[in-house]
Amino acid sequence: MPSSTPPPCVPLEPTSQPGPGLRDSFGRVIDYLRVSVTDACNLRCVYCLPARARFQPRDMLLTDEELVRLLGLFARSGFRKVRFTGGEPTLRSSLVEIVAATSRLRGIERVGLTTNGLLLGQQAGALRAAGLHSVNVSIDSLDQDRFGRITRRGDLRDVLAGIEAARAAGLQIKINCVVCRGLNDGEDIIDLARLTLVEPWQVRFIEEMPFRKSAHASAQHPVPEEQLLARLRAAFGELELLNGGRLDGEARVFRLPNARGTVGFISPVSRPFCGDCNRLRLTADGVLRMCLLRDEEIHLRMLLRGGASDQALLDQIKLAVIAKPWGHGLPDQVFPANRTMSEIGG
Ligand code: SAM
């Protein structure tokens, strides 16, 4: 967590029109950037972080100026959508200023945030005013005991208050639940899906992914989507498949009978959606990652601090897009090993 007041953000004035978007070597338009603003987190979810997690020293992280400069270059390269994540992004004390600077960039059309929601109660209004469009809030159980067992700390009531604040601020809301075998794959998914009967939200069930550095046994045997669907069908009746089965982002989407909202399934292991992947990831320490689940990286922080010109950085962004692999390597037993999900930015 940042220990002192960070330097103020330098608003970036766009100097040229954004480009039309970069195509990778497979013809995909890459126009979505996930940006981690800190690797630190105020939870220690058992599948994500060790109980005694250690975080990077402050000087390893991109400063606000460095980050906003890079975001301007991504916008110039044709990136249209930015999602801030972490670690826990609300721990970065300058998050509102970073969101404001990003939403002012010519070419950026959508700015989202993925958060555990604990601090959203205090920040939702300011984030919305800064230009944030949507929040994805992670909740793996609506039962305080199980929530505590999964997250090892934190109070579910604060998360729920955070969601209320997001609603009051007018932010679009999605709920993310990582399903872990034997932990929250029973009652919890029924409780979470039930929210969609009254709320207009999308509740998404995410398959647990295997990260070597945060090895969690159940990630070796993710719960298949079909099994979760069968449980929901038994509890609520037949679900309606929406969009003709086409993905909404990464999710296959259904509606429970008479529901206001929807349930989505994000199944990167059993139903990979790499063919539709349109994103790069920028870690809090300034590393560009072409695939969440592959270790190859391009180090931008060192270039930035070595005095690289805008053109040199634009060339690196282009190179990353060209180097983007077709898909992850899980079917070939290639597992991400150098970082945890929270060190990358989920
Ligand atoms: N702290 C924020 C949050 O809780 O949403 C943002 C960062 S967190 C790393 C982003 C998302 O990644 C969360 O929904 C989290 O549950 C998910 N995640 C972490 N480890 C995962 C894993 N091994 N497999 C699937 N999702 C994971």
Provide the terminal-to-terminal Cα distance of the chain, rounded to the nearest Å.
18
Bridge partners (DSSP) listed for residue 135: 113, 173
At 212 the pLDDT is 80
Q: How confident is the model at residue 14 (pLDDT cuts 50, 70, 90)?
A: very low
Centroid of ligand 1 to alpha carbon of 209 (angstroms) = 10
Number of Cβ within 10 Å of residue 27's Cβ equals: 6
**Angle (CA) 305 308 312, round 5°:** 140
- DSSP labels, 129-162: HTT--EEEEE-S-SSHHHHHHHHSS--HHHHHHH
- DSSP labels, 27-70: S-EE-EEEEES-S--S---TTTS-TT-----GGGSPPHHHHHHH
**Three-state DSSP class for residue 15:** coil
Ligand 1 and 178: CB distance under 6 A:
yes
At 156 the pLDDT is 97
Ligand 1 and 205: CB distance under 6 A:
no
Say whether pLDDT at 254 is over 60.
yes
At 17 the pLDDT is 58
Say whether pLDDT at 22 is over 70.
yes
Mean pLDDT to the nearest integer, 247-267: 96
> What is the tens place of the pLDDT at every residue in 169-206?
999 999 999 999 999 999 999 999 999 999 999 999 99
The region of weakest confidence among 130-144, 297-311, 328-342 is 328-342
> What is the tens place of the pLDDT at every residue in 37-53?
999 999 999 999 999 99
Nearest CA to ligand 1 atom 1: 88
Mean pLDDT to the nearest integer, 268-281: 93
Mean pLDDT value across the chain: 93
8 A C-beta contact, residue 151 and residue 140: yes
* Share in percent of the chain as helix, strand, coil (round to 5): 35, 20, 45
At 318 the pLDDT is 97
CA distance 31 to 12: 19
Say whether pLDDT at 9 is over 90.
no
CA distance 137 to 327: 26
Q: List the chain domain ranges.
A: 32-344
CA distance 340 to 73: 27
Ligand 1 and 39: CB distance under 6 A:
no
CA distance 287 to 86: 13
Say whether pLDDT at 117 is over 90.
yes
At 19 the pLDDT is 65
Query: Could you tell me the maximum CA-CA distance found in the chain, to the nearest angstrom?
Result: 60
Bridge partners (DSSP) listed for residue 228: none
User: Which of 126, 198, 112 is CA-nearest to residue 169?
Assistant: 126
Residue 87: alpha-carbon gap to chain centroid:
10
Ligand 1 and 286: CB distance under 6 A:
no
At 216 the pLDDT is 78
What H or E segment, with its residue span, contains residue 299? strand 297-299
Nearest CA to ligand 1 atom 10: 346
Ligand 1 pocket mutation, candidates 47, 221, 281, criterion most atoms within 8 A of CB: 47
CA distance 149 to 62: 33
Bridge partners (DSSP) listed for residue 35: 84, 282
Ligand 1 and 116: CB distance under 6 A:
yes
Mean pLDDT to the nearest integer, 48-72: 96
Say whether pLDDT at 10 is over 50.
no
**Three-state DSSP class for residue 313:** helix
Say whether pLDDT at 15 is over 90.
no
CA distance 277 to 279: 6
Q: How confident is the model at residue 18 (pLDDT cuts 50, 70, 90)?
A: low
Mean pLDDT to the nearest integer, 227-238: 97
Centroid of ligand 1 to alpha carbon of 310 (angstroms) = 32
Centroid of ligand 1 to alpha carbon of 139 (angstroms) = 10
Mean pLDDT to the nearest integer, 232-254: 96
At 220 the pLDDT is 82
Query: For residue 15, which amino acid is it?
Result: T
Nearest CA to ligand 1 atom 21: 48
CA distance 301 to 332: 31
CA distance 109 to 78: 11
> What is the tens place of the pLDDT at every residue in 135-160?
999 999 999 999 999 999 999 999 99
Which architecture characterizes domain 32-344 according to CATH? Alpha-Beta Barrel (3.20)
CA distance 60 to 207: 31
**Three-state DSSP class for residue 91:** helix
